[in-house]
């Protein structure tokens, strides 16, 4: 069987050279299955999670197709449109397009809310080949007459499920109505909810369907575990965990913006340098926080799901689910923040009694029990039947961790044994101008 390479997928030497500069040696499965069809101009429906390489899967064919087809630049016009649900994801896509297309003559811009319009209007005034945008700001600029969508040849809807969750579905439909019917349409989603299927049926024409295998729902290198704890002891347990030396860089997930703020403040008071990121933060605040996290000046990032979607930071050693998500698919997105690029990672879920149904829903989705970690100082009382279930689950986890040592390098609780019943108390926010220069 012939080895699949970026060259064998049909990419030109200009792009291959950029990929070598970026250190990409071979395509991921989603790239291998997607790139040839997109180079042919086919519509595509892709089911893939963050971290699978999907940005390159659609960005590389766009760059090649636009480069091969010369077009006169028209004021305010756009040739390829990439729509993303959040500012962070839009900025990351734009940065990836810049890296892959550094040796091309194509122009690009990135527009999103939370910052002033004037620089963005200037960036697209002469027209751009590729525009990355969030739905609200794109429609806002279109309403101002600052951008034209009647020349769009290719549109990509990335993380469509998240746009559906965020209430952007009507904005997406308005955008689709503004672009030509003769176009190439690409839709990527981490899950295929009924709303996504319905949208795909209305905007895609005989699409190629590409999906990661179901068994790849969770990364093999992620060590998962759950700690049962009373709700009032969750913060104390989290502090205990974060003080372990093994936690080099961590994301803590909270369910609400207010909860994220309170948790970050509480951790900082305990001597754990942390900051929160969520939709109520200004773009400049979010950018400063993300820069500090990427550069290692901030050890712990407390995030809501919407704010964290699209964050791709290397060397995150731990993910902590302080609050369990209401949607089990969200658990997969969360823990996928760690174990990137072949590195190992640990995902710890703090589960109180009210959250056990949410945990069971997650376990049904991933097709396995999350091992129970008993060796912590705030272990929750459980009923006899639950105790046996938890102990059996934990034994399996201990066997996987060589002789029942504490998982993930966390310290043993005082007294050494596991016990039940103890009750102790953005990429830069500045717009990137046209051109793929340094």
* Predicted local confidence at residue 410, as pLDDT: 59
Residue 179 lies in a domain: yes
* Predicted local confidence at residue 386, as pLDDT: 52
Domain total of the chain: 2
Question: Do 182 and 43 share a structural domain?
Answer: yes
What is the percent of the chain where pLDDT is above 90? 55
* Predicted local confidence at residue 394, as pLDDT: 38
Residue 144 lies in a domain: yes
Give the C-alpha distances (Å, rounded to integers) separating 235 from 72, 148, 232, 276: 58, 50, 7, 15
Question: Do 266 and 147 share a structural domain?
Answer: no
Instruction: Enumerate residues 6+ apart whose C-beta is below 8 A from 56.
Output: 24, 28, 31, 96, 100
For residue 373, is pLDDT > 60? yes
The model's pLDDT over 24-80, given as tens digits with 9 standing for 90+, comes to: 878 988 999 999 999 999 999 999 876 678 999 999 999 999 999 878 889 999 999
* Predicted local confidence at residue 282, as pLDDT: 81
Mean pLDDT of the region 354-376: 88
For residue 309, is pLDDT > 80? no
Three-class SS state of 407: helix
Question: Do 227 and 196 share a structural domain?
Answer: no
Question: Mean pLDDT of all residues in the chain?
Answer: 83
Token pair 């997406």 is found at 172
Dmax over CA atoms of the chain, in Å, equals 74
For residue 275, is pLDDT > 90? yes
Mean pLDDT of the region 181-196: 91
| Tokens standing for residue 53 | 């390489």
Do residues 359 and 349 make contact, with C-beta atoms less than 8 angstroms apart?
yes
Question: Do 390 and 262 share a structural domain?
Answer: yes
Instruction: Give the range among 78-87, 125-134, 190-199, 384-393 with minimum mean pLDDT.
Output: 384-393
Residue 5 lies in a domain: no
Mean pLDDT of the region 295-307: 88
For residue 134, is pLDDT > 60? yes
Mean pLDDT of the region 214-224: 64
CATH of the domain at 158: 3.40.50.300
Query: Of 199, 215, 231, at which residue does a domain stop?
Result: 215
Do residues 114 and 282 make contact, with C-beta atoms less than 8 angstroms apart?
yes
Residue 431 lies in a domain: no
* Predicted local confidence at residue 72, as pLDDT: 83
Residue 419 lies in a domain: no
Residue 426 lies in a domain: no
* Predicted local confidence at residue 427, as pLDDT: 29
Edge-first strand listing for the sheet containing 274-277? 222-228, 345-351, 318-321, 250-253, 300-303, 274-277
Residue 421 lies in a domain: no
62 burial via Cβ count (<10 Å: 0-12, 13-18, 19+)? buried
The model's pLDDT over 346-357, given as tens digits with 9 standing for 90+, comes to: 999 999 999 999
Residue 434 lies in a domain: no
Query: Of 194, 215, 236, at which residue does a domain stop?
Result: 215
Token pair 């965990």 is found at 241
Question: Do 226 and 183 share a structural domain?
Answer: no
Query: Of 172, 191, 215, at which residue does a domain stop?
Result: 215
For residue 276, is pLDDT > 90? yes
For residue 428, is pLDDT > 70? no
What DSSP assignment string belongs to 6-69?
TTTTT--HHHHHHHHHHT--S--HHHHHHHHHHHTT--EEEE--TTSSHHHHHHHHHHHHHHHS
Answer with the residue of higher pLDDT: 238 or 396.
Answer: 238
* Predicted local confidence at residue 364, as pLDDT: 83
Q: Where are the beta strands (DSSP E) in 257-392?
A: 274-277, 300-303, 318-321, 345-351
* Predicted local confidence at residue 146, as pLDDT: 98
Instruction: Give the range among 158-162, 260-264, 310-314 with minimum mean pLDDT.
Output: 310-314
Do residues 356 and 241 make contact, with C-beta atoms less than 8 angstroms apart?
no
Mean pLDDT of the region 377-404: 47
The model's pLDDT over 109-130, given as tens digits with 9 standing for 90+, comes to: 999 998 999 999 999 999 999 9
Question: Do 226 and 211 share a structural domain?
Answer: no
Which of the given ranges, 166-180, 371-385, 396-410, has the highest pLDDT on average? 166-180
Question: Do 270 and 185 share a structural domain?
Answer: no
Helices and strands (DSSP H and E) totals, the chain: 16, 13
| Residue 220's pLDDT band (cuts 50, 70, 90) | low
Question: Do 182 and 284 share a structural domain?
Answer: no
* Predicted local confidence at residue 1, as pLDDT: 47
Residue range of the domain that includes 154: 13-215
Instruction: Enumerate residues 6+ apart whose C-beta is below 8 A from 117.
Output: 137, 140, 141, 144, 146
Question: Do 188 and 304 share a structural domain?
Answer: no
Do residues 252 and 302 make contact, with C-beta atoms less than 8 angstroms apart?
yes
What DSSP assignment string belongs to 106-132?
--EEEE-SSS-SHHHHHHHTT-EEEEE
Question: Do 194 and 283 share a structural domain?
Answer: no
Question: Do 257 and 207 share a structural domain?
Answer: no
Question: Do 284 and 149 share a structural domain?
Answer: no
Integer Cα distance of 265 and 254 in angstroms: 13
| Residue 362's pLDDT band (cuts 50, 70, 90) | confident
């Amino acid at each position: 069987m012939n080895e699949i390479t970026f060259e064998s997928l049909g990419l030109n030497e200009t792009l291959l050279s950029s990929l070598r500069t970026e250190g990409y040696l071979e395509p991921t499965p989603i790239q291998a299955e997607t790139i040839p069809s997109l180079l042919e101009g086919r519509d595509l429906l892709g089911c893939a999670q963050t971290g699978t390489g999907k940005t390159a899967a659609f960005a590389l064919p766009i760059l090649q197709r636009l480069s091969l087809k010369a077009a006169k630049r028209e004021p305010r016009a756009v040739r390829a449109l990439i729509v993303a649900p959040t500012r962070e994801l839009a900025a990351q896509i734009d940065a990836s397009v810049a890296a892959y297309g550094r040796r091309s003559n194509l122009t690009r811009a990135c527009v999103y809310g939370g910052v002033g319009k004037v620089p963005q209007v200037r960036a697209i005034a002469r027209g751009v080949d590729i525009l990355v945008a969030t739905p609200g700001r794109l429609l806002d600029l279109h309403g101002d007459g600052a951008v034209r969508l009647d020349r769009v040849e290719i549109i990509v809807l990335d993380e469509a499920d998240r746009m559906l969750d965020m209430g952007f579905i009507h904005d997406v439909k308005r955008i689709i109505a503004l672009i030509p019917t003769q176009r190439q349409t690409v839709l990527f989603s981490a899950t295929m909810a009924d709303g996504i299927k319905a949208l795909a049926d209305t905007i895609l024409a005989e699409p190629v369907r590409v999906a990661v295998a179901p068994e790849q729902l969770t990364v093999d290198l992620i060590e998962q575990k759950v700690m049962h704890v009373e709700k009032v002891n969750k913060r104390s347990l989290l502090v205990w965990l974060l003080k372990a030396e093994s936690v080099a860089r961590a994301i803590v997930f909270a369910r609400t913006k207010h909860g994220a703020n309170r948790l970050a403040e509480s951790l900082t008071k305990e001597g754990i340098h942390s900051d929160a990121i969520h939709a109520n933060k200004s773009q400049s605040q979010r950018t400063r926080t993300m820069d500090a996290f990427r550069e290692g000046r901030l050890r712990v990032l407390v995030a809501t799901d919407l704010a964290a979607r699209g964050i791709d930071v290397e060397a995150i050693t731990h993910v902590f689910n302080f609050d369990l998500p209401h949607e089990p698919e969200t658990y997969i997105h969360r823990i996928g923040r760690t174990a990137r690029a072949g590195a190992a990672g640990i995902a710890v879920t703090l589960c109180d009694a009210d959250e056990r149904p949410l945990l069971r829903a997650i376990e049904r989705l991933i097709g396995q029990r999350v091992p129970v970690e008993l060796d912590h100082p705030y272990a929750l009382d459980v009923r006899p039947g639950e105790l046996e279930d938890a102990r059996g689950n934990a034994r399996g986890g201990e066997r996987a961790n060589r002789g029942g040592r504490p998982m993930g390098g966390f310290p043993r609780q005082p007294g050494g044994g596991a016990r039940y019943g103890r009750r102790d108390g953005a990429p830069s926010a500045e717009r990137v101008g046209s051109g793929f220069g340094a």
